[in-house]
Structure 1
Amino acid sequence: MSVKERLGLTTEPLYLMDGSAFIFRAFYAMQSMQRSDGFPTNALFIVTRILLKFLKDEQPTYFGFILDGKGKNFRHETYPEYKANRSATPEPLVQQLDPIKQAVRTLGLHLEISDNCEADDCIASLAARYKKERPVIIIGADKDLKQCLDENVFMWDPGVKQEKLTTLAEFREETGLEPSQWADFQAIIGDSSDNIPGVPGIGPKTAEKIFADYPTLEAIRDNFDALAPTLQKKFADHLENMFTFRTLTTLSTAQCDSLTLDHFRIDPIDGDKTADFLREYELRALLKDVAALAPVSAKVNTPATAKPAASDKPAAKSGTGSMQLGLFDAPAAPAAAPVAGHGSHAPEHGTNGNANRTSSLKLEDVTDVSALPDCSGKRIALVPMGEMLKRPECTMPSLLDMTAEEAKPEACIINVHVEGSDREYRYSGSLTALAGYATTADTVIAPDVKALLSIKSGWRSVESSRWFDLGLAAYLLDPEDRDYSWRRLSARADEFEVAAENPAQLAFALADDFMRRLQGADLVTLMRELELPLIRVLADMEEIGIHIDGTAFTAFLTEVQRELDRLTKAIYEAAGGSFNIRSAQQLGDLLFNKLGLKPKGKTKGGQISTSQAVLEKLAGEHEVIDLILEYRTLEKLRSTYLEPMPRLADAQGRIHTTFNQLATATGRLSSSNPNLQNIPVRGQFGPRMRACFTARKGCKLVSADYSQIELRVLAHCSQDPTLLEAFRNDQDIHSSTASVLFDVPTTEVSSDQRRNAKTINFGLVYGMGPQKLAQELKISLTEAKEFIERYFSKLQQLKAFYEQVEANAKEHGYVTTLIGRRRNVPEIQSGNNQMQSQARRQAINTVIQGSAADIIKIAMLRTAQDAELKTLKARLVLQVHDELLLEVPTENAEAAARRLADIMTGVHPGGTALDVPLKVDYGIGDGWHEAH
């Protein structure tokens, strides 16, 4: 349903789009998208797609795309510092401005550049002028535009996850204000994006309370003596400044006076002209959207005409942002640059290897590799098409998320396409023979390489350097997406005009597209030299597994169950009766109704929470709370580890976890089915739990882990003298930090001071804010804020580093680790303070934790490839965050431990040694606990 239908409008509205805002959002939300000659096209693609979708859904009559004009305006004369904090517009975005303007005009839309004022002023002026005769729908999210709202003026933001449509009534309900108060409101809370300081210490919540009593700046000034003393202190030095700030936040309604309604009347789309424009910029994915609006003549691989020359400056090398935002939920445009493997056997533009095809390939069923064309030195694509069950060599329970209904039980079906061939093959013969066939190819493209390696059919004979993993490529470009399955990737078939019956041909198109984007984002080296070779390492570790002591598991489970039974009786006695301890509803009824305890939080659904965090807050208020906390700890141990894990062991007593390479935005590995990275380490049960994991007979376990690796990465990246000196001199980092924080010699640092320093050292790496710090240290929020402020005042280089990370994230829309892994943080530009703060924490966390993850991955790869460890028959069996675990023959354990430590300390991420030494602690034992 269109917006005008949802609003019940009977008169054709005037749509006014804040074009500048949407261009910037598009640029930062999806990056590393280029035409084959390197010309950036990310903002052009998304803005054009938004406009095409808008035209289709709304079928408007009047529309204006409003852009900011060049140069300064009246606000700069009033306040020279206005927007002084803005970085220069990135060159790749500047390059796209003219094509975007051309796209707007090509679609028959009115383009207005608001000289001598901002786009918001032009929009406000037009809204004020036309709202009496027709509805005005402002397409934008800039908070300043809220002052335009009226009975006949609406704001619509289709670029958020759940589109937002704001009416005057909704604005009043959300803020308690009138639009006429909005400029005053913004004047006192300030706007960091425009460099308007506002009144220090006054946030939105406080401002809303103030305006409930004093609705204007004049009222605040005239009633200054009636304000609370704390507010008087805040306003005292700003009673005049706030009026200046109001001038900056107030939109002008006297601009763009030469524009008549006819200027905004939409012209019919010329389908062929628009299609030619899209082909020129290689945005063929949008052709079907144009065809839905106007007839388009059939043209296949039309040569681009009059392409703008690429700038002397290279296009922005950025990661592809996940467009998970309403109209911004856009796939990347198709590419022309092919993926190359060992050699450079790239197809010419318009051949079968090219990403832009318009016809399907003939499909042929074969059961023998001899029926397949010669693939020596060529690229091939392999796409498993069934559940691959019912055959001894197909050991995976489900490959590439296909369901049993989709599988052919009598065969393992893999679709095959060979570069240059005019057909695609549906192969159902021997997988071992197919694996041998693939070893002669230059590049083997597949949706999930590890899934193939996990099938015992000879796939490990294909060299790691020859694989191209589509899921891995998609992950590196967009690590926030979380879903890189073939089902998800194949949904782009229409974009490349590939027939559904040709999945291997689609794999070619995707590979070409991904490779071009990986090149644009400087991610090719990361993929080829680390992530692709690591797939084989992970597959080997999964196959080897780790041995468990079944007898130890059983004994531990018996003890835990006995204690659970005792606790159950004690809980019933303390509660005055029996109830289901595992039921949140029954537990809540007991605690908050029968016992009358005060709730400490609610669930997302609004119910009173009985979560672990809530119970910990209630600890000590009633004896039943402590008993339930103890019960939950043991119950988790029983249900998560002790009972299910032994059932997962194979005939040799080994458990085989799955290592997830594509699961985290920072690049860290995770483990599942079962999760062996979550086995307790410390506490009452950690050592006992780890002791259940043992080496096989005749072997030892060797555990080696990095000491405080994330803080060492932080010291290297920030170049903070305190951190550098402590690590270089092998001092206790937390005592050294505490010494600086509390101005005491290191030898006199108390245990509490060290604990506080340790909490903030690690907390800030993970983006801990004052609220979390207050909870951790059990201090007030004010004290926590003061503690953080003192921390950064003492470690000023650290503060400068955090500010630089934030500035880089705002400029580029992404951050990178030491070896170039990238994470997009488009929300860093958000006007929502909560989203912006979260993006800031993600940015810092990614740089530090992501770099630490890269270091351990490099160490894993070198460990697996090390000739000396192979001679010692050492096998890598587990990775847990900063720890590696080997299983080694007893007589070789000490030598293997020393070699492993040498490998780990010798890692140089990005080819450069850290400015502080990497320290590794190692141990040897029959069980994991003893080794660790």
Structure 2
Amino acid sequence: MSLKERLGLDKEPVYLIDGSAFIFRGFYAFQNMQRSDGLPTNALFIVLRILLKLLREEQPAYAAFFMDGKGPTFRHALYDQYKANRSATPEPLVQQLDPIRRGVRSLGIPLEVSDGCEADDCIASLAAKFKSERPVIIVGADKDLKQCIDDNVYLWDPGAKQEKLLDLAGFTEETGLSPSQWPDFQAVIGDSSDNIPGVPGVGPKTAAQIFAEFPTLEAIQENEKALKPGVQKKFAGQWDNIYLYRRLTTLDTGRCTSLALKDMTVQSVDADNAAAFLREFELRTLLRELPQSVPVRPARSGAAAMQQASLFGEPQAAPQIPSFSSADQLPAVSGTVALVPAEKGIAVAFNGNEYLYTGKPEDLAAHMAQTGAISRIIAPDVKALYRSHTSWRAIEVHRWFDLGLAAYLLNPEERDYSWTSLARRAEEFGIDAQTPATLALTLAQDAAARLEGVGLSALMEELEMPLIPVLADMELRGIRINRAEFSGFLAEVQKELDRLTQEVYAVAGGQFNIRSSQQLGELLFGTLGLKAGSKTKGGQASTSQAVLEKLAGKHPVIDTILEYRKLEKLRSTYLEPLPRLAQENDRIHTTFNQLATATGRLSSSQPNLQNIPVRGPMGQRMRRCFTAAPGNKLVAADYSQIELRVLAHVSADPTLIESFTRNEDIHSRTAGLLYDVTAADVTPDQRRNAKTINFGLIYGMGPQKLAQELKVTLNEAKEFIERYFSKLSHLKEFYDNVEQSAREHGFVTTLAGRRRLLPEIHSDNNQLRSQARRQAINTVVQGSAADIIKIAMLKAAADETLQQLNAALILQVHDELLLEAPQDAAEAAAKRLADIMSSVRPGGAALDVPLAVDYGIGDNWGQAH
């Protein structure tokens, strides 16, 4: 149902589209999209998608698309700090402005570029001009436009995740204000996005209370003494500024007044020209949507409507999908094929047709493997096929195209790359509903073009796709456990848990559930009277790990509870459940998740073997529970300080590079710089502090967190960071350059070319913006380290020497690889694996520092590590 029908409008409304808002929203919200030659098209895509939806669903008779012009406006003349906090328009967005103008015109929508004012001023002027004669629908989301709302003026945002429609009653209910009060209200609370300060210390809640009693700035000033004393002080001496801010936030209704209604008539679309434009910018999704979006209004003649429809042909009826129970019954298969799980079998699409295969999956796999005419096979999750039946492994990996993997590389923040999610997102982005496998073909074509356009094809084809069979093999092999070792360790842990439980009961004066947060809180903050820290969402005092660690030393029972929790986690997470997951051959099979992290690191689940404790006696004892098969040894090889070595390389810091090249202890070297002593005179505490800073700053640790970690004051932590960057000057420059690049391009890349989008780098929210800065640094460093170990896995899996030694990868844990090899070949396998890992060249180039690899050999993981 159109908006006109929903609102019960009896006249054709005029649609005033805030184009600039949608341009910027599209650019920052959907960044990873380019034409095959590298020209960015993300903002263009979003804008045209919204306009096509408008044409399709609203069939407007009158509309105009408004864009901000170049240069300063009258507001800059009034206040030179107006929008001074905004950085220059990113070049990738500037490149799209002219194509956007062309695209808007190609759809028959009038375009207006404001001059000396903002697009919002033109919209406000025309809303005021036309609202007495017909409904006005402002298509936008800018809060300044709320002042235009009236009985016959609506504010509509169809581009949000959930459509937003605001009329006069809705505005009053939402704000408690009238639209005419909105500029006054904005002048008081300020607008950080436009760099309008407002009244310091007066927020929306306080301002709403004031305007409920005094409706205008003039009324507030006249009754200033009636305000609360604290509020009076905030307004005192601010009135000249406040009235200036109101002029800045008030839209000028005297602009663009020469535009008449006839100038805003939506023209019939020249389908050929519009299609040519979309093909020029490789907007295939919109090209498919164009036929349904061409406006056909009743005022047009029937002949014209028929001629327009004939440009695209009549809609086709839903096809009947043939079903086959035997792979041999399928028609001749060639070219590109798509396979998708269906309700009663596997959907297969090729040569423009779709079929349903209901026979044995292994027979279809064998058929596909033997058909030499197939150049590419598309599937939502190739590794899932590998796990379902080994027959799929007969198809060479270079013939596969994994839709989930492609979607992950294009946007690693989505988190869900299942077929259901991919199909849903396709629909959200305007791809017409199709039969499953045919949709997969469409998505693959689009994804392949986008991967090529943003330079991710090589990462997909040379690293991530070849890694799939490697991971599948590792999952299939699994790792053996020693049930007796597990049982013995569990008995020791349970005995210690029983002892700790009695200690806690003695303090509590009786038994209670130590695992219950509520009951534990009653003991700590009620019975013992300890000071509570933070609260849970339910309002009760928190007994989280962080809270208890802060209470350490306040009462002996705190240390007892912390020890209890550590052992209880060991028992409940590992010692009891893992043996139950082992198969008859005593091997546990984890699942490696290739699409789980934004940095590109692998994760492990069902069970998670990457979180097995490693440090201290408990860690060693835990790892002793994992063992080699009879006659074999485990070989563990791990990179030494890989992330710091990557940081040295990407920052080109001479101190770090020199230290690693000389094989110095990097933490002692850093401590010497921080404390101004020689490396030989560095104390253990100084080295420990330097290590905390070295690793902490990679992950974006700020002064507050550093102060907690080092147990120093906030000022001392700030001094540490300042000294750190003054001694390692190239690091600060590198961090600044990464942030600047992220702001300019909206993403950062790793050494192997992996991308992470960072739309929040431009957020008005300081917390989100700071988080994006940390993510930018972390991704470049940690993501590059992830690339390195993935390359090492590929090289190890394909290495002929390791194959001849019958040594096979069975586990990857962050910077560590675990091999299982025959006892007499273990030493040779360990040396070969270390050589492979140390010779990795991410992006085709060696690092400026050596990649150091430590290895060990043992009957169990504890001995090998």
Q: What TM-score range do you get, normalising by the shorter chain?
A: 0.7 to 0.9
Look up the equivalent residue of 2:355 and give its one-letter code: E
What is the CA distance between 1:813 and its match in structure 2?
1.4
> Is contact 2:59-2:296 (8 Å) kept?
no
Any idea what SS the aligned residue of 1:884 has?
A: strand
Q: Go from structure 1 to structure 2 and tell me whether the alpha carbon gap of 1:300 and 1:874 turns closer, same or farther (over 3 Å shift).
A: farther
| Structure 2 counterpart of 1:50 | 50
What is the CA distance between 1:560 and its match in structure 2?
1.5
| Structure 2 counterpart of 1:515 | 448
What is the CA distance between 1:880 and its match in structure 2?
0.4
Query: What are the within-5 Å matches in structure 2 for residues 57-206 of structure 1?
Result: 65-74=65-74, 89=89, 93-101=93-101, 104=104, 111-122=111-122, 167=171, 179-180=183-184, 182-183=186-187, 186=190
Match of 1:905 among 838, 845, 850: 838
| Structure 1 counterpart of 2:349 | 417
| Structure 1 counterpart of 2:213 | none
> Is contact 2:106-2:273 (8 Å) kept?
yes
Q: TM-score, normalised by structure 2?
A: 0.83
What is the CA distance between 1:546 and its match in structure 2?
0.5
Matched, 1:256 2:262: no
What is the CA distance between 1:437 and its match in structure 2?
3.6
Any idea what SS the aligned residue of 2:388 has?
A: coil
Q: Go from structure 1 to structure 2 and tell me whether the alpha carbon gap of 1:293 and 1:595 turns closer, same or farther (over 3 Å shift).
A: farther
Q: Deviations over 1:362-385 (max 9, x none)?
A: 533334333234446x32222343
| Structure 2 counterpart of 1:448 | 381
CA distance in 1: counterparts of 2:155 and 2:846, whole angstroms: 53
> Is contact 1:828-1:837 (8 Å) kept?
yes
CA distance in 2: counterparts of 1:10 and 1:624, whole angstroms: 75
Number of residue equivalences:
831
Q: Go from structure 1 to structure 2 and tell me whether the alpha carbon gap of 1:367 and 1:123 turns closer, same or farther (over 3 Å shift).
A: closer
> Is contact 1:363-1:424 (8 Å) kept?
yes
Q: Go from structure 1 to structure 2 and tell me whether the alpha carbon gap of 1:178 and 1:447 turns closer, same or farther (over 3 Å shift).
A: closer
| Structure 1 counterpart of 2:676 | 743
Matched, 1:633 2:560: no
What is the CA distance between 1:179 and its match in structure 2?
4.7
> Is contact 1:106-1:269 (8 Å) kept?
no
Query: What are the within-5 Å matches in structure 2 for residues 543-558 of structure 1?
Result: 543-558=476-491
Query: What are the within-5 Å matches in structure 2 for residues 737-886 of structure 1?
Result: 737-886=670-819
What is the CA distance between 1:810 and its match in structure 2?
1.6
The farther-off stretch of 636-645 and 286-295 is 286-295
| Structure 2 counterpart of 1:537 | 470
Match of 1:615 among 548, 551, 557: 548
What is the CA distance between 1:707 and its match in structure 2?
1.1
The farther-off stretch of 670-679 and 420-429 is 420-429
What is the CA distance between 1:426 and its match in structure 2?
1.5
Q: Go from structure 1 to structure 2 and tell me whether the alpha carbon gap of 1:534 and 1:73 turns closer, same or farther (over 3 Å shift).
A: same
Q: Deviations over 1:214-234 (max 9, x none)?
A: x99x99xx99xxx99xx99xx
Q: Go from structure 1 to structure 2 and tell me whether the alpha carbon gap of 1:773 and 1:129 turns closer, same or farther (over 3 Å shift).
A: farther
What is the CA distance between 1:19 and its match in structure 2?
2.2
Q: Deviations over 1:314-360 (max 9, x none)?
A: xxxxxxxxxxxxxxxxxxxxxxxxxxxxxxxxxxxx9xxxxx99676
The farther-off stretch of 280-289 and 915-924 is 280-289
| Structure 2 counterpart of 1:383 | 340
Any idea what SS the aligned residue of 1:918 has?
A: coil
Look up the equivalent residue of 2:369 and give its one-letter code: A
Matched, 1:364 2:322: yes
> Is contact 2:55-2:294 (8 Å) kept?
no
The farther-off stretch of 117-126 and 511-520 is 117-126
CA distance in 1: counterparts of 2:569 and 2:455, whole angstroms: 43
Look up the equivalent residue of 1:258 and give its one-letter code: T
Q: Go from structure 1 to structure 2 and tell me whether the alpha carbon gap of 1:7 and 1:433 turns closer, same or farther (over 3 Å shift).
A: closer
Match of 1:490 among 423, 434, 440: 423
| Structure 2 counterpart of 1:723 | 656
Matched, 1:678 2:607: no
Any idea what SS the aligned residue of 1:452 has?
A: helix
Q: Go from structure 1 to structure 2 and tell me whether the alpha carbon gap of 1:207 and 1:886 turns closer, same or farther (over 3 Å shift).
A: same
What is the CA distance between 1:417 and its match in structure 2?
3.2
| Structure 2 counterpart of 1:335 | none
Q: Go from structure 1 to structure 2 and tell me whether the alpha carbon gap of 1:593 and 1:369 turns closer, same or farther (over 3 Å shift).
A: same
> Is contact 1:108-1:269 (8 Å) kept?
yes
What is the CA distance between 1:61 and its match in structure 2?
9.4
What is the CA distance between 1:489 and its match in structure 2?
2.5
CA distance in 2: counterparts of 1:8 and 1:786, whole angstroms: 65
What is the CA distance between 1:45 and its match in structure 2?
2.5
The farther-off stretch of 894-903 and 274-283 is 274-283
> Is contact 1:705-1:920 (8 Å) kept?
yes
What is the CA distance between 1:108 and its match in structure 2?
7.0
CA distance in 1: counterparts of 2:156 and 2:717, whole angstroms: 39
What is the CA distance between 1:825 and its match in structure 2?
1.1
| Structure 1 counterpart of 2:493 | 560
Q: TM-score, normalised by structure 1?
A: 0.77
The farther-off stretch of 680-689 and 243-252 is 243-252
Look up the equivalent residue of 2:66 and give its one-letter code: I
Matched, 1:466 2:423: no
The farther-off stretch of 293-302 and 116-125 is 293-302
| Structure 1 counterpart of 2:516 | 583
Matched, 1:642 2:575: yes
CA distance in 1: counterparts of 2:296 and 2:559, whole angstroms: 66
Look up the equivalent residue of 2:324 and give its one-letter code: V
Consecutive unaligned residues of structure 1, counting only runs of 5 or more, are: 233-237, 304-349, 351-355, 386-405, 408-412
Consecutive unaligned residues of structure 2, counting only runs of 5 or more, are: 211-215, 299-304
Look up the equivalent residue of 1:426 and give its one-letter code: Y
What is the CA distance between 1:107 and its match in structure 2?
6.4
Look up the equivalent residue of 2:359 and give its one-letter code: S
Q: Go from structure 1 to structure 2 and tell me whether the alpha carbon gap of 1:911 and 1:30 turns closer, same or farther (over 3 Å shift).
A: same
Q: Deviations over 1:537-595 (max 9, x none)?
A: 00000011001110010111112222222222322332233332222333334444454
| Identity between Structure 1 and Structure 2 (%) | 59
| Structure 1 counterpart of 2:28 | 28
What is the CA distance between 1:647 and its match in structure 2?
0.8
Q: Go from structure 1 to structure 2 and tell me whether the alpha carbon gap of 1:644 and 1:252 turns closer, same or farther (over 3 Å shift).
A: same
Look up the equivalent residue of 1:414 and give its one-letter code: I
> Is contact 1:106-1:273 (8 Å) kept?
no
Q: Go from structure 1 to structure 2 and tell me whether the alpha carbon gap of 1:741 and 1:207 turns closer, same or farther (over 3 Å shift).
A: farther
Query: What are the within-5 Å matches in structure 2 for residues 239-254 of structure 1?
Result: 253=252
Q: Go from structure 1 to structure 2 and tell me whether the alpha carbon gap of 1:756 and 1:717 turns closer, same or farther (over 3 Å shift).
A: same
- The alignment's C-alpha RMSD in Å is 4.7
> Is contact 1:75-1:247 (8 Å) kept?
no
Q: Go from structure 1 to structure 2 and tell me whether the alpha carbon gap of 1:298 and 1:777 turns closer, same or farther (over 3 Å shift).
A: farther
| Structure 2 counterpart of 1:336 | none
What is the CA distance between 1:793 and its match in structure 2?
3.5
What is the CA distance between 1:789 and its match in structure 2?
3.5
What is the CA distance between 1:73 and its match in structure 2?
3.4
Look up the equivalent residue of 1:415 and give its one-letter code: A
CA distance in 2: counterparts of 1:890 and 1:430, whole angstroms: 38
CA distance in 1: counterparts of 2:713 and 2:442, whole angstroms: 57
CA distance in 1: counterparts of 2:838 and 2:599, whole angstroms: 22
CA distance in 2: counterparts of 1:738 and 1:240, whole angstroms: 54
| Structure 2 counterpart of 1:704 | 637
What is the CA distance between 1:263 and its match in structure 2?
7.7
Any idea what SS the aligned residue of 2:321 has?
A: strand
Matched, 1:426 2:357: yes
Q: Go from structure 1 to structure 2 and tell me whether the alpha carbon gap of 1:883 and 1:18 turns closer, same or farther (over 3 Å shift).
A: same
Q: Deviations over 1:787-833 (max 9, x none)?
A: 33343343332122112111111211111111111111112122222
Look up the equivalent residue of 1:284 and give its one-letter code: L
> Is contact 2:106-2:270 (8 Å) kept?
no
CA distance in 2: counterparts of 1:508 and 1:714, whole angstroms: 40
> Is contact 1:279-1:302 (8 Å) kept?
no
